[in-house]
Structure 1
Amino acid sequence: MSYIRNFENSNLLRRRAHHLIPGGSHTYAKGDDQFPVLSPGFITKGLGCHVWDVDGNAYIEYGMGNRSVGLGHAYPSVLDAVHKTLEQGSNFTRPAAIEVSCATKFLDMVRTAEMVKFCKDGSHATTAAMRLARAVTGRDLIARCSDHPFFATDDWFIGTTEMNAGIPKAVRDLTLGFRYNDLESVHMLFARHPGRIAALIVEPARGDEPAGDYLRALKALCHDNGALFVLDEMITGFRWHNGGAQQLFDVVADLSCFGKALGNGFAISALAGKREFMELGGIEQTERPRVFLLSTTHGAETHAMAAAIATMKVYEQEPVIEHLHRQGTSLRTGLEQAAARHGIGEFFRVVGRASCLSYMTLDENGLPSQAFRSLLLQETIARGILAPSLVVSYTHENQDIERTIEAFDGAFAVYRRALDSGVAGQLVGRPSDVVFRKYNQPAVPLASLPHLVRAKTEVA
């Protein structure tokens, strides 16, 4: 098995990127601080579940564009639709006919919604939902699930994190938190802030599934207290069910937000919901003040709409969800068995739904550890696997799963040594860090790590 150590071109690009781009990338989750020092800095191409970096190293990938690529990179039918549409232009003075086609297809798939408006990313959609909820209720406060890590780049959410510099306290104080699967925490919020909460926003599921009738009970609590019930389906949409997790769990949201897998990597997201609320952002209702809902120059680019339509057709016509669950289940089983063989089953845990897995790395004391996460990433990257999560796509075949389990098996041997003798002796450079932190750690100059650029060797 080849052992990848050559990141010479990546390291050259890193220096330039950090000089030109704050953070060195345009997405925090893709930043250098999220990966070990021995990692690819830049990807040149992807095909199916495989990607190649600027040094020519090949990987089986499990990040899948931060879960936005459900079918696989450069999926043929999606690319064909994009190519044909781009030949006719991408952006006009008036709406393109494909906007109606895309809305029709989306509402055919997501039957819990009555109207939809598209934009480019999840933050615009969730923020529009919060603005709409405030307009509907005449209230200012928002409650977001504290157990779910990300809802938007906008102030109403980022102000609740450690990375809240630049956000006025008055804005930060408008967002409250509650716990997932904990109805009592929501009861307490409504009791402390009677008549003031406009909406609750929560992911239908993440690492944990809703317990029993939790989502419907949460919706009832919202309505009993005059608040809107908003579901963030950026991740669960088109991974849990073709109609979203709300269809799987038999609950209808007042408003819901979709994105990521909707366009198989192309930039498109959606705010969907009940007509009585969505119409406030239109031009036909005359009873209520107008809501500036969503208006983006590039929000309805034709090629992104074409990608979404083509993607939804594949989900509709082929067993995509079933494949994701089957391959995710195989991956989970294989990794858990491999971890048990190395005696680290208590320190490495696979979590989440089979179609959207992630993992936990624990230290010798059983505590979550960025150092051990970095070590595992370092060793799996070296063996040709790029897995910041364990998210499968429609193009992950059996041989890819088998190859991945084999690579993790080798990495687990190193993990075991680190548990026994210390992680510092196994990890090259600094550990990765969490995105939401108050301050940065001092950087380690690349020049001080001459061993970063090595020829490929063989794993014993």
Structure 2
Amino acid sequence: FRYNHLEELQAIVEKNRKDIAAIIMEPIRNVQPQPGFLEGVRALADEIGAVFIIDEISAAFRMNSGGAHLVFGILPDVAVFSKALGNGYPIAAIIGKSQVMEAAQSTFISSTMWTERIGPAAALATIKKHKAVDAGKHLMAVGKQIQEGWTRLAKKNNLKIDIGGIPPLSHFSFEYDNALSMKALFVQLMLELGFLASNLFYAMYAHTEDHVRSYLEGVDKSFEKIARSIEHNDIDKKLIGEPSSIGFKRLA
């Protein structure tokens, strides 16, 4: 089912309610949850006795010091974490209510590296530092500056773009038929300016006002050249390589 389309999940439940063991979804996608959406999913899971699992692998520790579900006041039965949890070190964690987690006691898991402690140590240190410096607040502020900058500079250069994602995990897309070629040209132009950048921006605690200002200056110059190429209809001629292909399409 698609995010913010509760009616699609309701239709799935009506057709398969006896066969649904769990409902798995991310707490937030490219847009904010509509009022009642997450609460509705939680209610449907309770109604059919399904385990409500929140995938926090992307969103956790971006908006706050923990899972994004805490921001929206939703309590899942199970939450899964990774990525930012270890600040670059490999680590994943599964937390949940005791009545659900107890099921693992009847299973056996073996691992070659299960005594490796670097990941857990990194995660504990990350969580401690994250809370101490309120990293989520900084990431949100940086991300909002980037999104506002994209909006302002696109308008300045008369470019049509669509901006999405939570502020710390921002992205934009060109609203044109040859969007992939335009994206490739943007990457190429930014690289010429010394930025390894695409249409994505992932905020980090290390980002400063100077970084944001310098990056947006590069975006302005690149947008200006792209706008000029649109006028001359020579986007593809400017490319030194092939544009990327369309990626996969996400649901909830």
TM more than 0.5? yes
- Aligned position for 2:169: 356
Q: Is the 8 A contact 2:53 2:77 kept in 1?
A: yes
1:343 and 1:300 map into 2 onto residues whose CA distance is: 56
Q: Which AA in structure 2 matches 1:260?
A: K
- Aligned position for 1:189: 12
Q: Is the 8 A contact 1:199 1:229 kept in 2?
A: yes
1:192 and 1:422 map into 2 onto residues whose CA distance is: 51
2:248 and 2:2 map into 1 onto residues whose CA distance is: 19
1:299 and 1:335 map into 2 onto residues whose CA distance is: 44
- Aligned position for 1:318: 133
1:334 and 1:208 map into 2 onto residues whose CA distance is: 18
1:349 and 1:301 map into 2 onto residues whose CA distance is: 43
Q: Is the 8 A contact 1:231 1:255 kept in 2?
A: yes
- CA 1:204–1:300: 2 relative to 1, 3 Å: farther
Q: Which AA in structure 1 matches 2:51?
A: L
How far 1:299 moved relative to its partner? 4.3
Q: Is the 8 A contact 2:64 2:135 kept in 1?
A: no
How far 1:234 moved relative to its partner? 0.5
SS at match of 1:271: strand
Q: Is the 8 A contact 1:418 1:425 kept in 2?
A: no
- Aligned position for 1:413: 224
- Aligned position for 1:372: 182
Q: Structure 2 regions of 5+ residues with no counterpart?
A: none
Q: Does 1:336 align with 2:146?
A: no
- Aligned position for 1:266: 89
Q: Which AA in structure 1 matches 2:236?
A: A
Write out aligned runs for 1:31-430 (5 A).
Answer: 178-282=1-105, 290-292=106-108, 294-344=109-159, 346=160, 348-363=161-176, 365=177, 369-388=179-198, 389-420=200-231, 421-430=233-242
- CA 1:191–1:426: 2 relative to 1, 3 Å: same
How far 1:279 moved relative to its partner? 1.2
Per-residue Cα deviation, 1:41-80 (whole angstroms, up to 9, x for no partner): xxxxxxxxxxxxxxxxxxxxxxxxxxxxxxxxxxxxxxxx
Q: Which has the higher contact order (CA 8 A, sep 6+)?
A: 1
SS at match of 1:372: helix
What is the count of residue pairs matched by the alignment? 247
Per-residue Cα deviation, 1:104-144 (whole angstroms, up to 9, x for no partner): xxxxxxxxxxxxxxxxxxxxxxxxxxxxxxxxxxxxxxxxx
Q: Which AA in structure 1 matches 2:107?
A: V
1:259 and 1:295 map into 2 onto residues whose CA distance is: 20
How far 1:385 moved relative to its partner? 1.6
How far 1:257 moved relative to its partner? 0.6
How far 1:332 moved relative to its partner? 1.8
2:131 and 2:243 map into 1 onto residues whose CA distance is: 42
SS at match of 1:370: helix
2:126 and 2:155 map into 1 onto residues whose CA distance is: 38
- CA 1:303–1:194: 2 relative to 1, 3 Å: closer
How far 1:300 moved relative to its partner? 4.9
Between Structure 1 and Structure 2, which shows a larger proportion of helix residues? 2
TM-align CA RMSD: 1.8
How far 1:436 moved relative to its partner? 4.4
Q: Which AA in structure 2 matches 1:320?
A: A
Q: TM-score, normalised by structure 1?
A: 0.51
How far 1:435 moved relative to its partner? 4.3
Which has the greater radius of gyration?
Answer: 1
- CA 1:387–1:413: 2 relative to 1, 3 Å: same
1:335 and 1:194 map into 2 onto residues whose CA distance is: 44
- CA 1:370–1:296: 2 relative to 1, 3 Å: farther
How far 1:319 moved relative to its partner? 2.0
Q: Is the 8 A contact 1:234 1:259 kept in 2?
A: yes
- CA 1:300–1:272: 2 relative to 1, 3 Å: farther
Q: TM-score, normalised by structure 2?
A: 0.92
How far 1:231 moved relative to its partner? 0.7
Superposed structure 1 runs of 4+ greater than 6 Å apart: none
Q: Is the 8 A contact 1:414 1:426 kept in 2?
A: no
